[in-house]
Amino acid sequence: LNDEEEGASCYFEIRIQVDEITKDVSLMITDFAEEDEIDEAKMLWENQISDLKHVLGSA
């Protein structure tokens, strides 16, 4: 595969989910990373979410 074709199969999905009863808001992230990049992807998302919480004042 060339870079363009390979990149087409690597993507992530972000969903905002609101509980109808409690009104709690959850950020659901699904990252379709390569198997050998899973730990790196987890670390990236944990850092990004931590930064987001800090900016929002919920950390």
Q: Give the pLDDT confidence score for residue 4 in this predicted structure.
A: 56
In a domain, 23, yes or no: no
Measured distance CA(22)–CA(13) in Å, rounded: 24
Domains in the chain, number: 1
> Digits of tens for pLDDT over the chain (59 positions)?
445 555 556 688 999 999 999 999 999 999 988 889 899 999 999 999 999 999 999 86
In a domain, 37, yes or no: yes
Measured distance CA(37)–CA(56) in Å, rounded: 28
In a domain, 15, yes or no: no
Q: Which domain holds residue 45?
A: 33-58
Measured distance CA(7)–CA(11) in Å, rounded: 8
